[in-house]
Structure 1
Amino acid sequence: MKYTIFSTDLTNPLAVWQHFEGEERVYWHDTQVNRVIVAAGRVKRITEAELADYPWAWYSQSFFDTIEDPIWQNMGNELVVFTHYYVKEEGKAYWVTATDSAPVIAPMTVPSVQHTYEMVTTGDYTAWQSLFEGIQQAIRSGEVTKVVASRKVAFHSETPFQTASIIGNLVAQNEGAFIFAYGKGDAVFLGASPEVLVRKRGQDFMSYALAGTLKKDDIHDGGDRLLHDPKNLREHQIVIDRIRQTMLAMCDKVDVQATHIMELPNLYHLRTLLYGHDTKDSILTMAKALHPTPAMGGEPREAALAVLKQFEPYERGLYAAPVGWVCGNTPLFREAGDGLLIVGIRSALVHGQDLYAYAGCGVVAESDCEAEYTETATKLQTILKAL
């Protein structure tokens, strides 16, 4: 398929997102390098072998192998290419499009909407207690050492939630995060994830171990406290060990960097970067091997997932699952097969006037039920502040 590059004076990516309302579309803003990609106009689902014919392909994978909940229908588990890609980076903007000319989009200001909404989930803490106790039973029996529990909280608005406004606020409020939105049908899955599942450049992989959390407060040594907290360090080490093991099966060498603090607007996280070198495997092969890491599922993986299927009272869909871009092969971009996949956390699914927000936390033997619930409430603020 032939794509042409056109320069453009259009500087507002949200105007592009808004222009293609009703079409399948993707918004992506990597705030670490200040790169924006907005794609629209589904062409088709492709295989990895077809990547070289397209500039980028969007990948999304459901947390579990199948999706049954109607709110997630037809979303995920495919590699998709688009007709139009709007790109903004290094102070320049351009289109990469399969048509003879670039889309004509009038400059517009996307208003920031103050949403009015109510929480419609009932019995939330009671359900959390039941989930927490189910996990602790599995830990005490020796089935698992860690399980990542999560909450789904439903909100309703008298008017439709405005996704362009939410995206704009997520970008403004979450420096250092990966802002994403994927719209298909009347559903939009969006969020501000701090976590890389896997990045591929040439023959090298990189992944984050991101586990261990402390809410920011008025004490200025919170990051240092987290770096020396035994419970969080043990939870974090479980993630490091599993990612390293997985990478070693596919790479000639794996480097584990020093653990440090990742500071977000309302949280501190423990983060360790792992680099795998000299691989012959694709980014999707690595993603499927890594997902879910113990930061999203638990350890051992299959036993933890069985606990979640038994006790977590809803379906995760794309929440906490891989989403991101795989590069094609054109002169402007990296070689085909490079890419960046994150995990879809600090996220929500929007259906018109209904919004479902998701947040999770790692549960180990030392965990406290109320403290972990409070941690999820803090993580939900990423979405709620954007409303």
Structure 2
Amino acid sequence: MIKTDRVSLEAQLKQIEHIEQTPYISIVQKINPIDPLNLFAHFAHLKGERFYWSNAAGDLTFVGLGTFKELYTDSSDDRFLAIQDQLNQLKESINVLHDFDVEGVGPVFFGGFSFFDTPHRKEWESFPENNFVLAKQMLTVKQGEYFLTHHIEVSPNDSIEVLLNQIEQETEAIYEAGLFVQETRKLEEVQDQLSFDQWSSMIAHAIEEIQTTNLEKVVLAREVEAVFDRTIPTEDLLYALTNQQQHSYVFVMEQGEEAFIGASPERLVSVTNQVMYSACLAGTTSRGETMDVDDLLAWRLLNDEKNLEEHRYVVNMIREAVQPICTHLDIPNEPQIYPLKNIQHLYTPVQGQLKPEVTLFDTLKKLHPTPALGGEPRQDAMNFIKMHEPIERGWYAAPIGWFDQSLNGEFAVAIRSGLIAGNRIKLFAGCGVVADSDAKAEYDETNLKLTPMLDALGGNRDDDYGE
């Protein structure tokens, strides 16, 4: 039998007697190691109420189980700050009893925003324009230490003994997680939403707009749907992505019978004690089969004017967006290479000291979408995408991540992602179109970007997908 740290928990619960009574408590215990993937898979009966997050550095992982509270708003006027306002209201009702000085324990909200602030079509109706979940139980793995957060609704009549027993039962259930075993399934087909001719026509239209209007760059996306012979378990794909895609943000958000899942290389923003980190990630090539070929491909990328131009758009936009809200900003003059398993990118890190009144949500509002996901000028690009891109982006290419009560947190850009529904998964990939873009080259780039998810699913990256 797994024993809880009853002394620590009892000491935390005794604080209730000395704090003004509120309806909810957040209590944390340090626990023995448990595998996050096994835990996520074990609670398959909570499908629709699970989340998973691991950061690109590999030193922070969350597994959320059950829904305790949600934050969401139907208003599109200022959906970022509306979530912040809801957090400020809710946190007045939560007694945070623990005293662990550890990032990512206690009340942590996980979720995301959609790319556009307008209602979705049917395939994305389970994922509203913004939605964040506070889990009933949450595992946090931080730099090799393991913590379990419990969120509990309490009443004046609840005794410490009753609450202790509840926490112990929940902890016992956590440790019943056994070894996860993947299922086998067969990929039956991959359906492309656009033929190559349709794609070429859309790219040609974009180039014409760039040459004749104020539009300088627009990011256009494709959607393919992979169909399997049986239901796709979220945990199967999560396991594959975690093992295959190092140095990526791996995430799952479940809603009802559907799941949004991905392994993104791109941080949008993180904030810790008013220090902001962001990233410029634009410009892509493949990896080489040998070290020499890999180095040659990286060198070509670093010297390719089309990719460098695309990267400069992103760097300049992020600088212009965050400079007014920072007291200090550090952005290197030249990009470097960011290597992943299948592809490599041009990458420039960004660090800044936020002004005292600026929050994480202010930075999200400033940065989304970057030119790497939307285009430049932003509104012109967004208008073009709305008018000419025939897919529903939903949460693809939008911010996904977490924040705590102090508005520390981190958001990735939800690329290299897919929407699971039964035995089907919709996959998305985009590319930046500028004046000298070539439709075939951009099509090949999107195929390359589809590779991580198709590999994890067992698909064949050499398929033409309708070309």
Q: TM-score, normalised by structure 2?
A: 0.78
Alignment-mate amino acid for residue 351 of structure 1: A
CA positional deviation for 1:98: 1.7
2:63 aligns with one of 23, 30, 38: 38
Alignment-mate amino acid for residue 82 of structure 1: A
- Residue identity over aligned pairs, in percent, reads 32
1:156 aligns with one of 217, 224, 227: 227
Is the Cα–Cα contact under 8 Å of residues 134 and 307 in structure 1 kept in the other structure? no
Distance 1:166 1:254, change over 3 A: same
Secondary structure at the aligned position of 1:206 is classed as strand
Deviation string, structure 1 residues 149-172 (Cα, Å, up to 9, x no partner): 111101211200121011111011
- Give the Cα separation in 2 of the matches to 1:285 and 1:122: 35
**After the TM superposition, which of the residue ranges 195-204 and 96-105 deviates more from structure 2?**
96-105
Partner of 1:111: 181
CA positional deviation for 1:114: 4.0
Secondary structure at the aligned position of 1:2 is classed as strand
CA positional deviation for 1:22: 2.4
If you compute each CA radius of gyration, which structure gives the higher value, 1 or 2? 2
CA positional deviation for 1:127: 2.7
1:272 aligns with one of 336, 340, 348: 348
1:64 aligns with 2:116: yes
Is the Cα–Cα contact under 8 Å of residues 67 and 315 in structure 1 kept in the other structure? no
Deviation string, structure 1 residues 250-274 (Cα, Å, up to 9, x no partner): 1122211242110011111011111
Is the Cα–Cα contact under 8 Å of residues 25 and 183 in structure 1 kept in the other structure? yes
Secondary structure at the aligned position of 1:136 is classed as helix
1:74 aligns with 2:126: yes
- Give the Cα separation in 2 of the matches to 1:111 and 1:240: 43
- Give the Cα separation in 1 of the matches to 2:69 and 2:114: 19
Partner of 1:205: 276
1:97 aligns with 2:150: yes
Secondary structure at the aligned position of 2:25 is classed as coil
- Give the Cα separation in 2 of the matches to 1:176 and 1:196: 11
Secondary structure at the aligned position of 1:273 is classed as strand
Q: TM-score, normalised by structure 1?
A: 0.93
- Give the Cα separation in 2 of the matches to 1:51 and 1:30: 25
1:359 aligns with 2:429: yes
Is the Cα–Cα contact under 8 Å of residues 271 and 410 in structure 2 kept in the other structure? yes
Is the Cα–Cα contact under 8 Å of residues 193 and 222 in structure 2 kept in the other structure? no
Structure 2 unaligned blocks of 5 or more: 1-23, 72-85, 95-105, 153-165, 458-467
Is the Cα–Cα contact under 8 Å of residues 53 and 251 in structure 2 kept in the other structure? yes
Is the Cα–Cα contact under 8 Å of residues 206 and 273 in structure 1 kept in the other structure? yes
CA positional deviation for 1:249: 2.0
- Give the Cα separation in 1 of the matches to 2:233 and 2:196: 29
Partner of 2:337: 261
Structure 1 unaligned blocks of 5 or more: 329-335
Is the Cα–Cα contact under 8 Å of residues 31 and 171 in structure 1 kept in the other structure? no
Q: Provide the aligned C-alpha RMSD in A.
A: 1.7
Secondary structure at the aligned position of 2:192 is classed as coil
Partner of 2:16: none
2:359 aligns with one of 264, 277, 282: 282
Count of residue pairs brought into register by the alignment: 380
Structure 1 ranges of 4+ moved more than 6 A: none
Alignment-mate amino acid for residue 151 of structure 2: A
